[in-house]
Amino acid sequence: MQFPNYERVIYEHNPLNEVLCELCFPSILTITSKQPVEFHEKVRNQYPSLQINRPIDLPSPINEETNADILESLSQMLASETLYTFTSEDLEWQVSLSKDLIRLATKNYRKYEEFQERLQYIVKVFEEIYKPSSYIKIRLKYQDLILPSSLDVQPNWKLLVKQPLIPELYSQELANSVKGMRKLVLLEFEESKVSLTHGIVEINDLDRGIINEEAYFIDTDFFTEERIIGAENVYRYLTKFNQLSGKIFRWCITDELHQLLKPQSVKES
């Protein structure tokens, strides 16, 4: 599938709700066999808050030794599933680390170069300490949310979203009855797959004063399960994912929505 060569832009009314990148690798048990103190020390200036997530907390053992042995074995198994999450002071950025993945996520994404700079630093620290043999899956996910109230428009999706995504709204029999919609399309390209999920949802966010607002979401989740050796090759894939993500989003929306989002040209470095 070939998308038009759209101009790269940054939107003043940024529709991105969250962006995350996840690198999976063959299990490294030392990550969860003891707390990642060295990793935390090197990232804590940017991500000072630490949360440790375990599947469950085990009860204290009953006096019988067999029960203690069982609980000890379970404790070791559950420890291997521990997820360490490091969060920035403004709560906008998160780094997660477990025995088989490292993830960077943000709700304050502006452009890829800024995101990549943060990612490169945490991957550099991770590789220096844990020396992964390879990466067995990489993901780059963009979650866009179109909130009509933020653009001072009504949720007339036929004017905002391309027809191929919403054929139900063009049906005389269905159009007036559609109150929600969720679709999943799996696309395959030369070096990646993309899980494209989109539809109409109802948003409630009291912090933002949003109550029962109809919105349209577009999730593009890029991934490859090729075995990749070396961070430089990881970034080569991620750059391609990023370039394709912009084209897919622009293909999904109408020219009218594009203008409502107030695009600003980006000078390529």
Residues 5-57: tens digit of each pLDDT: 899 999 999 999 999 999 999 999 999 888 999 999 999 999 999 999 976 55
Residue 148 pLDDT > 50: yes
Q: What is the pTM of this model?
A: 0.88
pLDDT tier, 81 (very low <50, low <70, confident <90, very high otherwise): confident
CA 92 to mean position of chain CA atoms: 13
Q: Could you tell me how many helices (H) and strands (E) the chain has, helices first?
A: 7, 11
Residue whose tokens read 């090197």: 42
pLDDT mean over 236-244: 96
Average pLDDT over every residue of 130-148: 97
**Buried/exposed 39-60: b ≥16 CB within 10 Å, e otherwise:** bbebbeeebeeeeeeeeeeeee
Beta bridge partners of 105: 20, 94
Residue 81 is encoded by which pair of tokens? 């599933």
Distance of CA 107 to the CA centre of its chain: 9
Whole-number average pLDDT of the chain: 90
